A and B are shown apart, each in its own frame.
Chain A
Amino acid sequence: MPARDPRSYLPLTAVSFEIMLALADAPRHGYDIMKTVEHRTLGAMELHPGTLYRALARLLDDELIEEVGRPDEGRRCYRLTRLGADVARAEARRLASQVAIARARRWIKDPA
Chain B
Amino acid sequence: MPAAPHLALAAYRALLRIYPRRFRQRFEPDLVAAFADLWIDRASRGSLALARLLAKTVIDVATTAFALRFGRAGTLSTQSTGTLSTMSTMSTLLLDLTYALRTFRRTPAFTAVVVVTLALGIGATTAIFSLVHAALLRPLPYPNADELQTVWVESKEGATVGGGWIGTRIGERLGSFGALYLGDLRAGLTSFISLEGMSPSWTMTVTRAGEPGPIETTFVSDGLVRLLGLEITSGRGFTPDEHKPGAPRAVIVSDSLWARIGGQGVPDTERVTLDGLEYTVVGVARELQLPGMPVDALIPFVQNPFYERRFVGIMIVLGRLRPDVSGSVASAELQTTAQSLARDYPETSGGKGLRIVPLHERFVRRSRALLSALFASVGLLILIGCANVANLLLVRASARQREIAVRSALGAGRLRIVRQLVTESIVLSLAGAVAGLLVARWTLGFLAVLLAEDLPPGLSASLDPPVLIFTTVVALATGVLFGLAPAFQASRGGLPDSLRQGSRAGAGGSRLRGALVVAEVALATVLVAGSGLLVRSLVKLTNVDPGFRTERVVSAGIFLSDAKYPQPADKLEFFERAITSVQALPGVESAGIVNRLPLGGATNNSTFVVIDVQTVTRGQEPLIDRRIASIDYFRTLSVPLVAGRFFDSRDTPSGARVAIVNRTMAKMWGGTDPIGRRVALGTLARPGTWLTIVGVVGDVRHHGLGRAAHPELWVPSAQAPVNGMVLVARTRTDPAAMTDDIRGIIRSMDPEIPAPASTMEEVVTASVQAPRSRTLLVGGFALLALALAAIGIYGVVSYAVSRMTRDIGVRMALGARTSDIRRLILRHGLTPVVTGLLVGAAAALLATRAIESMLFEVTPGDPLTLAAVTVGLLGIGVLACLIPARRATRVDPVTALRME
Bound Cα distance A16, B82 (Å): 12
Q: Are A49 and B34 in contact (CB under 8 A)?
A: yes
Known interface pairs A9-B79, A49-B35. Does A54 touch B30 (Cβ–Cβ under 8 Å)? Answer: no
Q: Are A49 and B31 in contact (CB under 8 A)?
A: yes
Closest to B62 in A: A50
Bound Cα distance A76, B26 (Å): 11
Q: Which of chain A's residues have a CB closer than 8 A to the CB of B34?
A: 30-31, 34, 49, 52-53
Tell me whether B373 is interfacial, beta carbon within 8 Å.
no
Tell me whether B65 is interfacial, beta carbon within 8 Å.
yes
A13 shortest CB reach to chain B, Å: 5
Q: Which of chain B's residues have a CB closer than 8 A to the CB of A16?
A: 83
Selected from A11, A53, A58, A61, the residue in CB contact (under 8 A) with B31 is: A53
Q: Are B61 and A4 in contact (CB under 8 A)?
A: no
- Residues of B in contact with A, size category: 20 to 34
Bound Cα distance A104, B335 (Å): 91
Bound Cα distance A49, B76 (Å): 23
Q: Which of chain B's residues have a CB closer than 8 A to the CB of A58?
A: 74, 79, 82
User: Nearest 9 pairs between A and B by C-beta?
Assistant: A58-B74, A48-B60, A50-B64, A31-B37, A50-B60, A49-B34, A30-B34, A31-B34, A53-B27
Tell me whether A98 is interfacial, beta carbon within 8 Å.
no
Known interface pairs A31-B38, A46-B56, A50-B60. Does A75 touch B33 (Cβ–Cβ under 8 Å)? Answer: yes
Q: Which of chain B's residues have a CB closer than 8 A to the CB of A52?
A: 34
Selected from A48, A50, A62, A75, the residue in CB contact (under 8 A) with B79 is: A62
A52 shortest CB reach to chain B, Å: 7
Chain A positions 49-74 with a Cβ under 8 Å from a chain B Cβ: 49-54, 56-58, 61-62
Q: Which of chain A's residues have a CB closer than 8 A to the CB of B23?
A: 53-54, 57
Chain A positions 22-42 with a Cβ under 8 Å from a chain B Cβ: 29-31, 34
What 1/0 mask marks residues of chain B from 50 to 76 whose CB sits below 8 Å from any chain A CB? 000000110011011101100001111
Tell me whether B86 is interfacial, beta carbon within 8 Å.
yes
Q: Are A34 and B38 in contact (CB under 8 A)?
A: yes
Q: How many pairs of residues, A versus B, come closer than 8 Å at their CB atoms?
A: 71
Bound Cα distance A103, B57 (Å): 38
Q: Which of chain A's residues have a CB closer than 8 A to the CB of B75?
A: 61-62
Q: Which of chain B's residues have a CB closer than 8 A to the CB of A4?
A: 76
Known interface pairs A58-B82, A76-B30. Does A51 touch B64 (Cβ–Cβ under 8 Å)? Answer: yes
Closest to A61 in B: B74
Closest to A33 in B: B34
A20 shortest CB reach to chain B, Å: 14
Known interface pairs A30-B30, A31-B38, A53-B27. Does A48 touch B57 (Cβ–Cβ under 8 Å)? Answer: yes
Closest to B35 in A: A49
Q: Are B33 and A31 in contact (CB under 8 A)?
A: yes
Bound Cα distance A50, B75 (Å): 19
Q: Which of chain B's residues have a CB closer than 8 A to the CB of A46?
A: 56
Bound Cα distance A11, B61 (Å): 25
Bound Cα distance A11, B33 (Å): 30
A100 shortest CB reach to chain B, Å: 24
With a 10 A CB-CB cut-off, give which of A12, A51, A54 has the most chain B CB atoms: A54
Chain B positions 516-560 with a Cβ under 8 Å from a chain A Cβ: none
Closest to A58 in B: B74
Known interface pairs A31-B33, A31-B37. Does A48 touch B56 (Cβ–Cβ under 8 Å)? Answer: yes
Q: Which of chain A's residues have a CB closer than 8 A to the CB of B86?
A: 13
Q: Which of chain B's residues have a CB closer than 8 A to the CB of A29?
A: 30
Q: Are B64 and A54 in contact (CB under 8 A)?
A: yes
Bound Cα distance A14, B76 (Å): 18
20 A-B contact pairs sorted by A residue (CB < 8 Å): A29-B30, A30-B31, A30-B34, A31-B37, A31-B38, A34-B34, A34-B38, A48-B56, A49-B34, A49-B35, A49-B38, A49-B57, A50-B31, A51-B63, A53-B30, A53-B64, A57-B74, A58-B74, A61-B75, A62-B76
Q: Are A61 and B38 in contact (CB under 8 A)?
A: no
Q: Which of chain B's residues have a CB closer than 8 A to the CB of A51?
A: 60, 63-64
Closest to B76 in A: A62
